């Protein structure tokens, strides 16, 4: 009898522990969803928002953030992570090696089809946050010379001191590409500066214009900086979207709805503001992501 009682107690304890484990497991697949990110502010913030959204929906999440941009694609194809925020232009040009295309929907269609075919990876819905290449100018100079588009800049380049980052002068998506589309840029001067110093250089009046990315946090300071319109659409779109391994999506189909809702809330202005809270206001990205997620859930 004593052995039966002991056995009964052991089985009861086993059932309690099993139920507890099930309560903490992801709703469908059971395994934790491994979320990765690239190693810069914006990708860290967005990946953290993905993680918070999935946890709020009941999924178990493992964060594997801050992966070098040169290896993050390898990480997902090698089954080291399950999903991360990617950019349509990066997928098109850097991963698939396609020719430049400027139509956002066409770019999305190509990357969605080719990633599924080549890598067994699904692109979920793209957001309206476009972190693409651009040119920034001091607002005071733009207003003085009436420069609001890249065409305007090209026409008045002789009055502009350009702060380059060296490689921008040689890259196909830099000055050579701009000149093919807009004509020659005969700047008053062009000096090479470290990219991390460009806003300081502009603010100090040492230069007038520089290359930029369209969601950089400093761009919230519109009294100081103006992002020029790419009026001839030289650059491809870099819209942000979650990409997920098909195997994980099949095991956890509900994550698509969760992450698509996050994407629907993100646009260029919102992401720029989130970046500014980290890069300008010097807050932690986890805190910024949590504050934003709580505002949209």
pTM for this structure?
Answer: 0.85
Query: Which CATH number belongs to the domain containing residue 90 in this structure?
Result: 3.40.190.10
End-to-end CA distance of the chain: 55
| pLDDT > 60? residue 38 | yes
| pLDDT > 90? residue 18 | no
pLDDT for position 171: 83
Residue pLDDT, tens place only, 185-195: 999 999 999 88
Residue 8 lies in a domain: no
Query: Which CATH number belongs to the domain containing residue 220 in this structure?
Result: 3.40.190.120
| pLDDT > 70? residue 14 | no
Q: Which domain holds residue 147?
A: 133-227
Residue 15 lies in a domain: no
Arithmetic mean of pLDDT, 25-47 = 84
Domain boundary among the residues 227, 260, 281 is at 227
Arithmetic mean of pLDDT, 88-96 = 95
Residues 108 and 178 in one domain: no
Residue pLDDT, tens place only, 245-264: 999 999 999 999 999 999 99
User: Angle CA(178)–CA(180)–CA(183) in degrees, nearest 5?
Assistant: 75
Cite the beta strand spans of the chain per DSSP E. 33-38, 61-67, 83-87, 121-123, 133-138, 161-164, 189-192, 209-213, 225-227, 240-245
Domain boundary among the residues 227, 248, 267 is at 227
Arithmetic mean of pLDDT, 106-128 = 98
Total domains in the chain come to 2
Q: What's the pLDDT band for 165 if we cut at 50, 70, 90? A: confident
């Amino acid at each position: 009898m004593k052995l039966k009682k002991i056995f009964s107690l052991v089985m009861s304890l086993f059932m309690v522990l099993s139920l507890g484990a099930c309560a903490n497991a992801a709703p469908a697949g059971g395994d934790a969803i491994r979320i990765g990110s690239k190693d810069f502010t914006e990708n860290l913030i967005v990946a953290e928002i993905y993680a918070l959204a999935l946890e709020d929906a009941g999924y178990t999440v493992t964060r594997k953030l801050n992966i070098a941009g040169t290896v993050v694609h390898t990480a997902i194809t090698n089954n080291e992570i399950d999903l991360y925020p990617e950019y349509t232009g990066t997928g098109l040009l850097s991963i698939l090696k396609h020719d430049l295309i400027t139509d956002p929907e066409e770019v999305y269609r190509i990357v969605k089809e080719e990633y599924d075919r080549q890598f067994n990876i699904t692109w979920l819905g793209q957001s309206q946050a476009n972190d693409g290449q651009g040119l920034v100018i001091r607002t005071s100079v733009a207003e003085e010379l009436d420069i609001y588009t890249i065409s305007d800049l090209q026409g008045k380049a002789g009055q502009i001191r350009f702060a380059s980052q060296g490689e921008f002068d040689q890259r196909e998506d830099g000055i050579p590409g701009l000149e093919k589309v807009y004509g020659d840029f005969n700047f008053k001067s062009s000096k090479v500066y470290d990219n991390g110093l460009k806003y300081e250089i502009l603010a100090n009046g040492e230069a007038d214009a520089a290359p930029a990315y369209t969601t950089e946090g400093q761009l919230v300071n519109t009294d100081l900086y103006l992002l020029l319109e790419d009026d001839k659409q030289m650059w491809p779109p870099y819209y942000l979207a979650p990409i997920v391994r098909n195997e994980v999506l099949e095991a956890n189909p509900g994550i698509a709805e969760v992450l698509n809702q996050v994407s629907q809330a993100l646009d260029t202005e919102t992401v720029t503001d989130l970046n500014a809270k980290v890069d300008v206001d010097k807050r932690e990205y986890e805190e910024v992501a949590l504050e934003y997620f709580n505002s949209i859930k």
